[in-house]
């Protein structure tokens, strides 16, 4: 895009929405240039909205992205309803809606649902078709709205037109964050998310969906920060699985999480993990509020 020399700044919120596993978090990380939102091969990884900010001096623009959970067609329990609430709230707060389709799931019903969710009066929508790196030939864009941009968030292909389209729709106005700010949520949030990411990639089947992570203590000290976190599970039987034989499973989760946390914070940490049973935490408003998955009223 051409250099903006007029001195006018643009700033606004962009909600990234779409089906689960489409690559929304991967795209936000690519656009912001930092691994802020956790990414796993399992659907419904993201549970809340994750904010990522990029200030582009060439475009004189600040884009504030809201990564959202994957759409849940029929929420089955309170956590899934809360996830849908995050999507709707992000859309309400957004100036631009960045709606994503998944090349590997060309399901007309899913496409229709995404288009409907993005159709908000007086709000611009930018459509992207992600994962086109998996296409053997030129992807067929005919099932998608006109102007849909084919991209690969993973390989960071064709992201410039996405940035241009977003910027064109951002309202004129002053920056809301200092230009070097990329995140707003506290370090504790990212620490808990990185532990959750590790659980999602190491534990099988339904187990990740029955877990949540709470950072109980986070003490900055030398030579290592001290972090103490609890992994919540919703049944006694899952506690044993999470800990594993002779504690091996939990140990592995701890080691992998610690590396990710150290990379993220850029300093060494001592990480202690505990597992606690909280029956049906994903069905209870009070628990969901404590975990930050539900807005405090």
Ligand X SMILES: Nc1nc2c(ncn2[C@@H]2O[C@H](COP(=O)(O)OP(=O)(O)OP(=O)(O)O)[C@@H](O)[C@H]2O)c(=O)[nH]1
Nearer to ligand X, 43 or 292 (CB): 43
Which residues from 100-139 bind ligand X, rule CB under 6 A? 130-131, 133-134
Q: With contacts defined by CB under 6 A, how many residues of the chain interact with ligand X?
A: 23
Residue 258 binds ligand X, judged by CB under 6 A = no
Residue 44 binds: one of ligand X, Mg ion, none (C-beta under 5 to 8 A by kind)? ligand X
Considering CB under 5 A, how many residues would be counted as binding Mg ion? 4
> Sign of the CA dihedral 187, 192, 198, 200?
negative
C-beta of 160: minimal distance to ligand X in Å?
15
Comparing CB distances to Mg ion, the nearer of 40 and 249 is 40
Phi then psi for residue 43, to 5 deg, are -65, 160
Is 39 among the residues that bind ligand X (CB under 6 A)? yes
Out of 46, 60, 62, 257, name the contact with Mg ion by CB under 5 A.
Answer: 46
Torsion of CA 238, 241, 243, 244, to 10 degrees: 170
Helix axes 248-265, 236-243, angle to 10 degrees: 70
Whether omega before 223 lies within 30 degrees of 0, making that bond cis, reads yes
Q: Residue 69 or residue 254: which is nearer to ligand X going by CB?
A: 69
The two structure tokens encoding residue 98: 């960045």
Q: Is 25 in the site for Mg ion (CB under 5 A)?
A: yes
Task: Out of 125, 153, 170, 212, point to the residue binding ligand X (CB under 6 A).
Answer: 153
Stretch that binds Mg ion, among 20-28, 74-82, 248-256, 267-275 (CB under 5 A): 20-28
Indicate which single residue of 70, 150, 208, 254 sits in contact with ligand X (rule: CB under 6 A). Answer: 70
Among 12, 31, 46, 214, binds ligand X (CB under 6 A): 46
Which positions lie near ligand X, rule CB under 6 A? 20-26, 39-41, 43-46, 69-70, 130-131, 133-134, 152-154
């Amino acid at each position: 895009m051409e250099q903006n020399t007029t001195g006018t700044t643009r700033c606004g919120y962009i909600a990234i929405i779409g089906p689960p596993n489409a690559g929304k978090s991967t795209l936000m990380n690519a656009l912001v240039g930092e691994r802020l939102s956790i990414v796993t091969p399992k659907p419904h990884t993201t549970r809340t909205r994750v904010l990522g900010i990029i200030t582009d001096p060439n475009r004189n623009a600040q884009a504030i992205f809201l990564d959202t959970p994957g759409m849940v067609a029929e929420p089955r329990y309170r956590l899934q309803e809360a996830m849908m609430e995050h999507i709707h709230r992000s859309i309400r707060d957004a100036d631009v809606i960045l709606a994503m389709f998944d090349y590997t799931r060309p399901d007309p019903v899913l496409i229709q649902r995404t288009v409907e969710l993005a159709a908000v009066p007086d709000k611009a929508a930018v459509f992207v078709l992600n994962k086109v790196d998996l296409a053997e030939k030129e992807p067929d864009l005919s099932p998608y709205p006109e102007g849909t941009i084919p991209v690969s968030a993973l390989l960071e292909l064709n992201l410039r037109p996405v940035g241009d389209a977003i910027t064109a729709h951002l309202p004129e106005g002053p920056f809301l964050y200092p230009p070097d700010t990329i995140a707003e949520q506290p370090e504790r949030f990212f620490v808990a998310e990185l532990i959750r990411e590790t659980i999602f990639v190491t534990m099988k089947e339904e187990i990740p969906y029955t877990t949540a992570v709470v950072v109980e203590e986070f003490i900055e000290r030398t030579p290592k920060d001290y972090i103490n976190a609890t992994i919540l599970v919703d049944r006694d039987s899952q506690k044993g699985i999470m800990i594993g034989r002779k504690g091996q499973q939990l140990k592995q989760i701890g080691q992998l999480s610690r590396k990710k946390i150290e990379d993220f914070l850029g300093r060494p940490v001592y990480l202690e993990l505990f597992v606690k049973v909280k029956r049906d935490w994903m069905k209870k408003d009070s628990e969901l509020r404590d975990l930050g998955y539900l807005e405090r009223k």
